[in-house]
Chains A and B, each alone.
Chain A
């Protein structure tokens, strides 16, 4: 129940698709999705594998709740060794694809090897086959999704695909499903491209069952009531989307600006939720067209927007005079504040290109920001950029580079390396605002101390979605802590990491945790799944998953020395705002964190700890 108890194993080298039963002992230990797929990856691959080698595997995984009526229960994740980072990667996506996969009867799809020629995986319930994708290779995610639906004469097929960026090896390529939802970070799309797998297309009609329907309906109804009554999930996110944060974070002096040279952006209001809803001067309409929910979601934070038709990006190009997903906060920050661009139409257009060609707007925008700093300081010039005047604040440079990066052409191919490789190439590694090769997102850790430890210790490289202490430090959820203080943050980060590990393994969206604690989530899992699932047991699962990922990274060659931040955040104090004069105090937090985790002073889980978490 809840689990389909079934895995599809696809070997691209041999061209085979075979079913096998899910290991239910592991399901009881790792729940599903992020945790369970990581267990499979750890058992089946060498952590030292080249991410782009056929020996790396890529696992698409649902959680036990995926496909049920629990609010937000449509998630799936892609677990692999990340092309951007060389670390464990786990990218989570919404939309409708996860439900379709579960309804076709699969908890996981394990993809192995490499196809000789481009193929796509086509699944109709228990029928799975690899089909020729030559018609779609060299086209966008949008054309691929529409093309596959048209070819099979079935508009109800759900598609997850890579765009050209994933084919040509842009290191932060995504897997895009349902036109604008993405397994976005760490280059999971790059891994998919390296396997010559263009898309996974699914039509599922088998249905999803739960263990105790009566208890499940009661628990999910109670959960939905909590979400609708909560000010963040019931009002803020539905009304403004994640962009509700733009002005809040800027006022907190925590909006990394122009490659983190500053912590507040004078153009923040122009790229905020409020700006998206404002009538444009030209046509009197707002960029924001409507809100959109993912499968099963009763919050509905998604935004659907348009670019003003007279804007230079779309004026001559009717194919972009359409609606698509965005802007979300992280993308708006990366494309905007990180580059100093305050033209909301340019940001919306660049975000469309990220959706269309499948690449991560966070890593893209942050890398453009780093390149802009190198351009302004004379490290690179028009010669390297191919004539693009790469100044901070240039909307034209941003949108031109989005199009070039989407296709891996010109200087876009260099942006596609990600900031770490790009800055190293030009002898300025310190200008890459990244941890373990992954660009950090939209919170400056000088002003939100916990986020520094979050980025430094995140197993998939810098990321806000591994321990979103912004909740506590800025929003006061579940209780307010001082964002400028580092005391107590080690424990806070650890608690968020463990809870998140459980949520990411369940099929639910992390955004529910603005309102839900594990006490709200446990009864839903308990009613759906065999076994007794309490909040305490979910924390155990989360801690186990965290240590499992950590051990993978250690075996891949990472050490405690990689748990660090760019020097800028440790040495150059915030110039303005509430945290003026502060740097991130990682050095104070990290030893305490290791100790709380039961890790050695070098950041290695001790034998006792591994035993305690049953690894």
Chain B
């Protein structure tokens, strides 16, 4: 229970009993003065005559003077991170949150304007100024690794991912919100006191009756950042719930808010007053306001024809996959290994052969006839020399003197390509998750200064500076659009001055052909900076990958698969336009010039 000031001591000290805890409050003057004992070292030096020269003494004094922090007049984070340059709108947002909003804000910039980096810089700034020590970052599961890489590599904040092994008392922690809100984690988190909590995709907190909202509301935190490009989706109540979570009472009680500001569910009244109240807690910048000109993305899809052996290898592998897929009943249908193999076939025979060998080696998992069949497939795969895609890639590389960044999903493909490209006399360097930090740095440096080609896997290059290169080749295509976007994001980012050329290498009449169609024609992923992809592709139940796998492996004919993919494409298209509309509606309510 809260009781008002129970008793007071002297002029300054008073206590409050809050939830049965005695909290000391200094209400009348500054008495909370503490002396740091680290200066004892200096007194010891003075007493034991461990003196420095007057020059050193005075320069130390000057150094201290120069490093003094006075309010938030300058961003220390930017001085500590010289490789980061913030856009003016980002810098403005960061300063606004720190100075005017007191570290409690909804970062609602339009998609693609860098909310993550803004939140990261705010975190860094607070950490550098020792105003926060414990930070909890709650994000959707699919974004955990992206946040981890952004915070660790770009912003140099040593966050750890909660994978079940970390205690919740860890100072800097990233967790999936769905994981964190479940007991026993929930109760452990609610028992902590965090200095700063960051919630990405905060529109998932739009409903105050949900577990998500109650969970975040229950966390004790000094500062709170909520990141969402769409704080309003259908109803103004959603906006109210998000703001109330951030700053209870900012929009008064819901009944009062409704009476004062809601005309109907989606239309506000007293708009100017509402804008003023929202401006105290919401920062939103529209793309037009920033006057930013991102370099263009130019996409070219190179369709190659498989040679006879490759075609046979792919056909027979897919037949095998279809057999296995259709044999599995609903309950035991674990399609993930099948999806991986299917993707490997699309990538390179080398990658698929390695997996097929493993399947053959596993005794008991397949029948004797299947084993014989697989052995034959492996034999075909091994005899394929230079694949059509690899040949096309080499042609592409030799036709230009520019740096080329090649992405593949599989290590075997990476090794295979490195061998083939080196064979024609082109210098290549590789980058993958298995390298040590020093090796990774060396690989990037080699690519920057010496080698023409860098072959990287998905794990590679996250948060690394690769803007000096502007040609990207998708040697194989991930079946997850977010991964494709992340690949492009390696070079299509701040600091890129040239137009980005994206080459998609695909084989005719393959799954990749359909994926490219979906990504390009429906999502316009390669050419537009759409952002909010996570919202668009995950609003349906199944993952994108699974739908594609079901279409290809479960369909009885190519026509049926095409129909399924067409439906998926239409669905994506409508979700995309709904998302764009939503952004405009949000701008109107938040009073942002669109």
Pairing of A with B: no
Q: Which residues of A contact B (CB under 8 A)?
A: none
